[in-house]
Amino acid sequence: MTFKTLLAAGLLAATALAPAAAETIAIRAGRLITDAALPARGPSTVIVTDGRITAINDASAPIPAGAIVIDQSTKTVLPGLMDAHVHLGGDADDAWYVNFTPKRTEAYSVAVGLHNALITARAGFTTVRELGAGVHAGVAVRDAINDGLAPGPRILTAGPALSIIGGHGDNTYGINPEVADALDRAWPQINLCTGADGCAAATRAVIKTGVDVVKITATGGVLSLGNAGLEQHFSDAEMRSIAETAHRLGLKVAAHAHGARGIEAAANAGIDSIEHGTYADDASIKAMKAHGTTMVATLMAIEGLKERLGKGFYTAAVETKANQVVALQGKQLAAAYKAGVPIALGTDAGVFTHGRNGEELGLMVKLGGMTPRDALVAATSGTAKLLGIDKDTGTLAPGKSADLIAVDGDPLQDPAAVLKIAYVMVRGKAIPLK
Ligand SMILES: [Zn+2]
């Protein structure tokens, strides 16, 4: 039977499920942060019905009849954390050749992605942006979680990162050219492009796979096997074409960028966020400020590199590049923060062990000079704004999605409090912590 005949027979419509009865949950909080930018409330109760917050009351107010009570009255309840830069389909201890081994198909990376998505949610992250996955794996992981097949955070995915031929997003750059040739024929890379028209076409091809955001590698990258440096890769015209094409289709663009001129060109091209931003100088920070470009500093990525450098884990070319960037950890964030550039939290999880994402807040305070409050704003409403979902999440208010966590201590005073997770709820559903 074809799809059309199914439709005609009314069989597709008949499979629609009847709506489930409303479920009301009351979460008792000892301290409640509704918005990281505002003073915290004292003992309060958050009422959630069918995934949405319906009321925020003082603890003395009566609890609706029949509500399931979640007692977090010795904890701080706050908006769920968000990570604007993760790679769920890989792990930090994967050797560089792991994707050439028999079982590591794109299908297998969906299982890896679901596993890491749950680890990330358990760490208090109720939304993540997946910035670099296979052509279909990132979309599959997102959809499986949305369909309730597995517990996990809300995911916005970029699919494969747009790249120049021989750039950071070219999977076969830096390996034996005969092998590269065979691989490129087996798996055409839809994300590689040249010229403004070619890059508009590649942007559309990536968007057609169902992604939520476009990622580009504006400059070379530390972990790519080739030695194409860390400066600007795409031309100014190519970056403008990608940004305009994606924006016209309603998607934002995130640019992986290390070198200063690559950062400046990406900001001037209208790209929405700079990922890493390692060598940001006065001119590139000025361009970001002028265009309202968000800094996503991924300080935890450097922790991942530091823990693996000098152990024979990376190839020689990668080791050289990694040694150049570790000394600069946090300098870009401090400069952006001082200049008033918008800041979102992003970690590059997958370069370090998944689940340690919350350590980024401590680094944002220690190395970026941010106050604990501003780090928490970046980790919640700041990232929601960058992702374009701030009307739905990032703060707690009636009508918003019930994305919240409970922690020991006060994260407005101590960023390490977010490492002590007692409870996680994503879109009204509790995440099993064990
Ligand atoms: Zn990354």
* For range 120-141, the mean pLDDT: 95
The pLDDT tens digits for 190-231 are 999 999 999 999 999 999 999 999 999 999 998 888 778 889
Mean pLDDT, rounded, of the chain = 93
Residues that are catalytic: 215, 348
**Alpha carbon of 67 to ligand 1 centroid (Å):** 42
pLDDT > 70? residue 413: yes
pLDDT > 70? residue 76: yes
* For range 310-332, the mean pLDDT: 91
Lowest mean pLDDT across 94-103, 161-170, 376-385: 94-103
Lowest mean pLDDT across 175-179, 232-236, 366-370: 175-179
Instruction: List CB contacts of 124: < 8 A, sequence separation 6 or more.
Output: 80, 81, 358, 405, 407, 418, 421, 424
- Prediction pTM value: 0.94
Confidence of residue 175 (pLDDT cuts 50, 70, 90): confident
Distance CA 178, CA 302 (A): 33
**Alpha carbon of 279 to ligand 1 centroid (Å):** 16
Q: Which pLDDT does position 19 carry in this prediction?
A: 53
**Alpha carbon of 343 to ligand 1 centroid (Å):** 17
Lowest mean pLDDT across 153-167, 217-231, 244-258, 326-340: 217-231
Q: Which residue, chain included where needed, has tokens 């009255």?
A: 73
**Alpha carbon of 208 to ligand 1 centroid (Å):** 22
Q: Which pLDDT does position 16 carry in this prediction?
A: 44
**What structural domains and CATH numbers belong to the chain?**
20-79+395-430 (2.30.40.10), 81-387 (3.20.20.140)
**Alpha carbon of 132 to ligand 1 centroid (Å):** 7
* For range 349-371, the mean pLDDT: 98
**Alpha carbon of 353 to ligand 1 centroid (Å):** 13
Q: Which pLDDT does position 6 carry in this prediction?
A: 46
**Alpha carbon of 61 to ligand 1 centroid (Å):** 46
Q: Which pLDDT does position 14 carry in this prediction?
A: 43
Confidence of residue 317 (pLDDT cuts 50, 70, 90): confident
Question: Which candidate, 424, 433, 412, 408, places its Cα nearest to that of 127?
Answer: 424
Residue 80 and residue 123 in contact, taking contact as beta carbons nearer than 8 Å: no
The pLDDT tens digits for 131-165 are 988 889 999 999 999 999 999 999 999 999 999 99
Distance CA 250, CA 208 (A): 13
Lowest mean pLDDT across 4-8, 100-104, 281-285, 350-354: 4-8
Residue 329 and residue 287 in contact, taking contact as beta carbons nearer than 8 Å: no
